Structure 1
Amino acid sequence: MPEILFSAREGLWETYRAPLMRALEEVGIAARIVTETDAPGTVDYIIYAPNEQLRDFTPFTRCRAVLSLWAGVERIVTDRTLTQNLCRMVDPGLEEGMVEWVTGHVLRHHLGIDRHLRRRAPIWDPVVPPLARERRVAVLGLGALGRACALALAGLRFRVAGWARTERRIAGIDCHHGADGLRAVLETAEIVVLLLPLTAETENLMDAERLGWLPEGAVLINPGRGALLDEAALIAALDAGRLAHATLDVFRTEPLPQGHPFWTHPGVTVTPHIAAETRPGTAARVIAENIRRGEAGEPFLHLVDRARGY
């Protein structure tokens, strides 16, 4: 019977207890699950989200895999004490939530909804938006979440271009890669969605130079990682009128500090990291399947490439 350590922020276990037990039963795994241990050498799997109680993985000598509850692993992938297999969360519920949030905000900017919501005077201003097939949208990052969002937007007939650091092929999406591909995508994008993982190569990807590649009046939407953006460069581009708006769900410091200029800037919409959340019901099935695979000697799903950082 494998021993599983559930290590996450306080209170999270209560939301995962029942879904995880059901999911393990569904795949035929009987396990002992603990939320703390004095015998790390007996633990076979760690279900993990970053927390202060577990920061050193060295004592877990029998552990076959650390199973992240988060899609992003940048906070743990460089931990030198973590020598075990590391699997990121690829959760169908998280994917659905991201698609809904991204689609909603792309449509909001495409249709010019803010102009009507913020009107304070009785001005009849019949500005008719273009059709979706006339609007160019770029999705930067074509992993599971980026691919799903790109396909959903293409399904609404937006002209979708995608960019990734390595070559991708997705039917219906104009895919680009590499430095030249990034510039080609940004130079024609009216709406840009950032869904890249955070690595040394993607930090501050959208700096002053690359923001300057965007057409005047473009909109930036970031539900990926806060550090993908150079914040000062973004505010400068908004103040100069180069960018029309930025809708941001993720930030370098969370919660976003009260005095941060994003809160009061007229060109910024802040949402409190709600674009996509790991859903216990669906995430538990992903974790249970990986434990089943570990017990059966099969390859783990969603194994992190340490060199690439995701």
Structure 2
Amino acid sequence: MKIDNILVTGRIYKTVEPLIRTRLNKQLRFLAEEEVKPQDFDWADAYVSFRPTGNFSFGGLKWVHSFGAGVDSFLHNRSWKKDVLLTRTVCSFGQKISEYCLSYMLRETQKHGVYQALQEQRQWNPVEPVSLSSQRVVIYGTGEIGQEVARTLAFFGAKPIGISLSGTTKPHFAEVLPASGAAGSLNSADWVISTLPLTTETEGMFNAAWFKKLQGACFMNVGRGATVDEKALLEALDHGFVRQAVLDVFAEEPLPEESALWQHPKVQITPHISAITGPEEAVQCFLDTLHLVEQGLMPPNRVSTEKGY
């Protein structure tokens, strides 16, 4: 595939411009989203961004590359043109998300909050920490990110169970189950971590009926916000099905000020930072993918537009 004209936009377009211009001899346009005009899509062979602009059209595009790991903004409620290749950024997201999840798990199992309270009260009370090896962890999503989270936890002796639509065996999981057969693992889980992308199958998956299968697990969402019914989650927290929620993604971002999640005592909120795309990594993945595309090779970060990931 010959790629001559490349349109780059999105929140880091100014940062990546010098990184790309010094490494690539192509016709390039770097524009803010609001500056992109319909004729830019007619001109471009490739579109590179985190999401489509409000006036996005396929025009003359042959290839779309996402600066992020997720592509739901491109595919959700959109009919994808079959002859347009869609790829995504694959870099150290798995490591970053693993560190994020691990930090919250250790905060609880090593009793950081307990010891902080005891210190403030000047009390010497040796409350025993809990080993991660004793924790039952269920991970929804067994792709690159889910596998890396599983690998990290397995290093500490945990035996994570993976949940996917197919139940296909994947590395680093003690077992992988299909979503339809997950109930038995959920009612004994200490931690449930979602790394799921947003697709027609996963939208609203974590609903009231699903939360009722839990018996006091901590629910962590580092996948996509719209996979969760937030009202059902709040009710599950109030009724004890979920003991704590750690949320990095939300159905609406930024999370509205009026959301009840902000003030709930059992909710930890972070503003979609568990795996921020670094400019250097984003550019390197884009350039590596471009090289494969122009060689006529299928890049490993190609997205199945039918599956949504």
1:33 aligns with 2:34: no
Q: Deviation per CA, 1:254-285, whole angstroms, max 9, x where unpaired?
A: 11111211111111111111111111111211
1:212-227 map, 5 Å: 212-215=212-215, 217-227=216-226
Kindly tell me: are residues 109 and 19 of structure 1, through their superposed partners in 2, closer, same or farther at Cα, counting changes over 3 Å?
farther
Moved more, 147-156 or 163-172: 163-172
3-state DSSP class of the match of 2:161?
strand
1:163-182 map, 5 Å: 163-182=163-182
Q: Which has the higher contact order (CA 8 A, sep 6+)?
A: 1
TM-score by length of 2: 0.88
Q: Which residue of 1 aligns with 2:200?
A: 200
Q: Deviation per CA, 1:65-116, whole angstroms, max 9, x where unpaired?
A: 1011121111111423644111122123x23221211121122232232334
1:189 aligns with 2:189: yes
Measure the CA separation in 1 of the matches of 2:9 and 2:80: 16
1:208 shift after superposition: 1.8
Kindly tell me: are residues 89 and 219 of structure 1, through their superposed partners in 2, closer, same or farther at Cα, counting changes over 3 Å?
same
Give me the identity figure in percent.
29
Q: Which residue of 2 aligns with 1:20?
A: 20
Measure the CA separation in 2 of the matches of 1:99 and 1:168: 21
Q: Is the 8 A contact 2:167 2:179 kept in 1?
A: no
Measure the CA separation in 2 of the matches of 1:47 and 1:197: 20
Residue 75 of structure 1, aligned match among 69, 73, 76: 73
Question: 1:163 corresponds to which letter in structure 2?
Answer: I
Kindly tell me: are residues 131 and 71 of structure 1, through their superposed partners in 2, closer, same or farther at Cα, counting changes over 3 Å?
same
Measure the CA separation in 2 of the matches of 1:147 and 1:55: 33
Q: Is the 8 A contact 1:7 1:51 kept in 2?
A: no
Measure the CA separation in 1 of the matches of 2:300 and 2:55: 23
Question: 2:242 corresponds to which letter in structure 1?
Answer: L
Measure the CA separation in 2 of the matches of 1:197 and 1:40: 27
TM-score by length of 1: 0.88
Q: Deviation per CA, 1:28-75, whole angstroms, max 9, x where unpaired?
A: x52121125745444222112225454222x22xx3210111211111
Q: Deviation per CA, 1:6-38, whole angstroms, max 9, x where unpaired?
A: 1224xx21211233345xx3xxx5212112574
**How many residues were matched structurally?**
298
Measure the CA separation in 2 of the matches of 1:87 and 1:233: 33
3-state DSSP class of the match of 2:96?
helix
Q: Which residue of 1 aligns with 2:227?
A: 228
> Unaligned regions of 5+ residues in structure 2, if any?
31-35
Question: 1:288 corresponds to which letter in structure 2?
Answer: L
Question: 2:6 corresponds to which letter in structure 1?
Answer: I
**Alpha-carbon RMSD:** 2.2
Q: Which residue of 2 aligns with 1:8?
A: 10
Question: 1:3 corresponds to which letter in structure 2?
Answer: N
3-state DSSP class of the match of 1:213?
coil
1:252 shift after superposition: 0.9
> Unaligned regions of 5+ residues in structure 1, if any?
none
Measure the CA separation in 2 of the matches of 1:133 and 1:39: 54
